Every structure is written in structure tokens, then in C-alpha cells.
Copies of this chain bind each other. A is one copy, B any other.
């Protein structure tokens, strides 16, 4: 049994629906596997608009399936939810600016969990009130202070830089798990990412 922990970058954007499943699963995964997740907020919408990638807007059958699929899989993982929830978010960029502040101050994960819970369990949008301030208070932060930092040009530049870094890795959707230069897109690729982190391959014979 190896005692070291492999690092997996968890590239996420608050506003992605399937990301709810990952946000709620990662702490359990860390307890049972030899991995540590680095929570990396970015603005997937910026990349998707640039790449003309609109998976659900104007696609009602695909959107209906997405809610049902998330509902079934949340049941499989034992994660509570009420779907559909408001989507897309009105203040997606701001929700992720707050996550960027959290990442530099050490409360990114807990904020992401709280704001997603509020969204998927109470139907209240991240990035907007009352979700925004409630989530910040739950993680022990003063909303007015954090909101001011999140509104600063510095935070805007940091979110943009993180988004460019994601794009340079080939990331086009959220969530994406990155193990070195290998990327795994979607909550449903978490198990593949774990396998890759541990063995450097998905093959049982270990070949790449």
C-alpha cells in the first residue's frame, strides 16, 4: 500500500450541473483512495462560447435527459437533490470569482459544497442572493468583504488566467479531472481519473 497521495486537479465551474455530483463526492473519495484534489475554479462558459459549444440551450430533449440522468445518478450516490434547478445561472462568472478568492484563502471547497447544496437542494442560484451570502457565512466568511475582493480587477484577472490555463490543457467542459497532461471530462470520468492517477493507464495490463 502506497503512503503518498497522487494529486488530481479538479477543474470546475460553478454553474455546471453535473459538477454537483463531483462536488458532493470528492471528500469521500479522498477518504478511501490515495488521492488529493486541487480545486481549480475556472470559467467554462467563456471557453464554451468561444468554441460554439452549447450543450443544452435550445435543446429541450437533451436538457430533459440531463436532469433525469443527474437525478438517477444522485440516487446512486446517495446525494439529495430537487431537479430541475434554475439554469443557466445569471451570475455564473461572479460565483466563480468568489471561488477564486476561496482558492487563494483556503475555503474554496467548502464554499463550493455549500453554494451547490443551496442550488440543488433549495433551488437558489449560486452567485446571486441569498445563496451568495448564505454560503459565505456558512464557511465562516464575511460576505461584504469577500464580495468586494471578488469584484476587484485582480480577481477577474485571476479567473481569466485560470480559464486560459484550463484551455491550454485541452479543457472544454466541466468538471474535468487532470492527472498530469491527461484530462478526464465529466463526473462520470472520475473513476477513470482515479485509475489513471494510480496506475497511469486504464488497462488491466498497465499498457498506455
A interface residues (Cβ-Cβ under 8 A, vs B): 51-53, 58-59, 61-62, 64-65, 69, 72-73, 75-76, 78, 167, 170, 172-173, 183-185, 188-189, 192, 195-196, 201-204, 207-208
Complex Cα gap A207–B78 (Å):
11
Query: In whole angstroms, what is the CA distance A207 to B72 when docked?
Result: 10
| B residues in contact with A195, CB < 8 Å | 76
Residue of B nearest to A54 (CB): B52
A202 contacts B72, C-beta separation under 8 Å: yes
Copies of this chain in the oligomer: 2
A47 smallest CB distance to B (angstroms): 8
Q: With the chains together, A59 CA to B170 CA distance in Å?
A: 12
Separation in Å of the A203 CB from the closest CB of chain B?
A: 4
A146 to B199, CA, bound (A): 47
Name which residue of chain B comes closest to A58, CB basis. Answer: B52
Partner of A51, one of B52, B59, B170, B208: B59
Smallest beta-carbon distance A193→chain B, Å: 10
* Complex CA–CA separation, A76 to B192 (angstroms): 9
Is the beta-carbon distance between A170 and B52 smaller than 8 angstroms? Answer: no
